[in-house]
Structure 1
């Protein structure tokens, strides 16, 4: 099957991004109900001009974004692929697009945080060159957090 995939650069105000993030939150909180209070403050979406949405056959099915972490580093955020679109390599495409975009803006490194039960995500990030590092702020001391870094 040759599906039509379209990758769009947009902002966090895009209604498709808002819907995908809501689906991500439902997925995370159903998997980690005990962590909701610890992490909720880290998941507030401020305006973000660096968002990517993937459409499959015209339907928004995946997203990701980055925000500036420091002068040389971006942080990948809100990575999500809808269950019906998993296994198509969309997350890897999103990561590559976000890293390229950040590199074009002058950033040299990318960091991210994921949760320890997200084995597929951890594996994907390692496969595309991320290595596990000590937890960075605001995740210092949060045992369920896995922080990773890559030069881009």
Structure 2
């Protein structure tokens, strides 16, 4: 059974998971990873969830205000040994619930075209592909999604 807590970017378990996420992204993104890294700083993220199994951190995600009524989902990650067990879906649902409680009406996010599992997760959860936004506008390998809450 998984437990999900709401916290912020000061949470040490979140910070440890982000180190693993960044290692994984560096491998998958290759040369373009440095471009993406500049947009993934965690020091300004107020809304973070961390998933645990038996008190061990196994996954995380965050939301960050993007604009009027819009929140961006950031820093989604599940440890290798826990992938394929529904953890990411539970994290995503919790982030959407929290965003709605905070008064947001839409979630947006960006993922890479090599992130096959992530693309599947977002489509399974009724996110739809949109034109690339903001800093991702001219990045061919980016795929952006949105969902009305």
TM over 0.5: yes
Figure out how many residues of one structure are paired with residues of the other and give that number. 149
Kindly report which structure 2 residues correspond to 1:18-97, keeping only aligned pairs within 5 A, or say none. Answer: 18-97=15-94
Tell me what 1:145 maps to.
142
Q: What is the TM-score when the length of structure 1 is the normalising length?
A: 0.95
What do the CA deviations read for 1:1-36 (whole angstroms, capped 9, x no partner)?
xxx311110000100000001100000101222112
Cα distance, 1:71 vs. partner? 1.6
DSSP 3-state at the match of 2:138: coil
Q: 2:104 aligns with which of 86, 103, 107?
A: 107
Task: Using the TM superposition, name which of 41-50 and 98-107 deviates more.
Answer: 41-50
DSSP 3-state at the match of 2:25: helix
Q: What is the TM-score when the length of structure 2 is the normalising length?
A: 0.97
RMSD: 0.9
Q: Give the Cα separation in 2 of the matches to 1:106 and 1:90.
A: 25
Q: Which runs of 4+ in 1 moved over 6 A?
A: none
DSSP 3-state at the match of 1:66: strand
- Gaps (5+ residues) in structure 1? none
Task: Using the TM superposition, name which of 116-125 and 31-40 deviates more.
Answer: 31-40
